[in-house]
Chain A
Amino acid sequence: MREKIMIVLAAAAALIITWVLYRILFIVPDEKDQGAVFRIIYFHVPSAMTAAACALAAFVSSILYLARRNLSYDAAAVAVTEGALLFGAVVLVTGMIWGRIIWGIWWTWDARLTSTLVSWLMYAGYLMLRRAVEEPTERARNSAVFSIFVFPGLYITWKSIEWWRTQHPGPVLSIRSGGGMAPGMESPIYINLLGLLCLAAVLAMLRYQQEQRRRELDSLRRTVHAM
């Protein structure tokens, strides 16, 4: 059943992303100042939303682990945290490439960029913490507490373009009262978000299965040591 769901999600992701790519390259109207590079927004923004959705899932899984002490929630938390890191890396890299053309610089220490990088590094720290703790329940508990501690930082990242005057553009999407884009230009962002969420779900399910097998491996190791 799980494999069928994964195949359906992967097919949906492939279809949606291909269709959005076609729309981005051939149908979406031009932005008057930026040239073609403006179209990076169609991967940059949905990737940021997907990373945030993965981080939210990690936060919820971590709370559930602490409440129920079931290692399946820990496996789910690490699976979606890796998704958050992957899509966070896409956000940072595509943003830097856009910034190189539009601002003339690869990077600047403004509020949005810095808070995004700090959150990304914190989630990378989550994975490092997991590698540092051998005992599975202790690893799961420490990781869950760390993940819960890190998540509120994303609220600062989200609000940073409203709270501070930054180099990063302010809100442009109509859902954040931005109103900076024509309706025909905005819709591919949400459609691509759906495609990337399907992709993230497939990757998280694969990683979750892998984490379950890693637990089986840990148990076999213990058996061998006891022999």
Chain B
Amino acid sequence: MDERNFTYLFYGFSAAWILVALYIVSLVLRERKIRSEIDTLRRMIEGAKE
């Protein structure tokens, strides 16, 4: 392979995968927050019923 500008190819591919990884992390964090809120609210409802 012609290796001129290889560093910028590396930057390009890295940037693409970092963006995808950041999005996946954001999905995981949002999922955790939603699950935790659902659990809290369910406990509150069950506690009120008792």
30 chain-A/chain-B pairs, Cβ below 8 angstroms: A26-B1, A30-B1, A36-B1, A36-B2, A36-B5, A37-B5, A37-B6, A37-B12, A43-B16, A44-B12, A47-B16, A90-B15, A90-B16, A93-B12, A93-B16, A94-B12, A94-B16, A97-B8, A97-B11, A97-B15, A101-B5, A210-B27, A213-B35, A213-B38, A214-B34, A217-B34, A217-B38, A217-B41, A224-B44, A227-B48
Q: Choose among B4, B5, B19, B38 the residue that contacts A90 (Cβ–Cβ < 8 A).
A: B19
Q: Are B8 and A216 in contact (CB under 8 A)?
A: no
Known contacts A35-B3, A203-B27; decide if A97 and B34 are in contact (CB<8 Å). Answer: no
Within 5-50 of B, Cβ neighbours of A (below 8 Å) are at: 5-6, 8-9, 11-13, 15-16, 19-20, 23-24, 27, 30-31, 34-35, 37-38, 41-42, 44-45, 48
For chain A, give the interface size range. Answer: 35 or more
0/1 interface trace, chain A 20-45, chain B, CB 8 Å (1 if under) = 00000110001100111101100110
What is the interface of chain B mostly: helix, strand, loop, or mixed?
A: helix
Answer yes or no: A221 CB below 8 A from chain B CBs: yes
Q: Choose among A26, A37, A213 the residue that contacts B34 (Cβ–Cβ < 8 A).
A: A213
Q: Are B35 and A224 in contact (CB under 8 A)?
A: no
Q: Which residues from chain B contact A30 at a C-beta distance below 8 Å?
A: 1-2
Q: Choose among B4, B37, B41 the residue that contacts A36 (Cβ–Cβ < 8 A).
A: B4
Q: Which residues from chain A contact B6 at a C-beta distance below 8 Å?
A: 35-37
Q: Are B1 and A25 in contact (CB under 8 A)?
A: yes
Q: Which residues from chain A contact B41 at a C-beta distance below 8 Å?
A: 217, 220-221, 223-224
Q: Which residues from chain A contact B45 at a C-beta distance below 8 Å?
A: 220, 223-224, 227
Q: Are B38 and A43 in contact (CB under 8 A)?
A: no
Q: What's the least CB distance linking A78 to chain B, in Å?
A: 12
Q: Which residues from chain A contact B44 at a C-beta distance below 8 Å?
A: 224
Q: Are B5 and A206 in contact (CB under 8 A)?
A: no
Q: Which residues from chain A contact B24 at a C-beta distance below 8 Å?
A: 203
Q: Are A203 and B23 in contact (CB under 8 A)?
A: yes
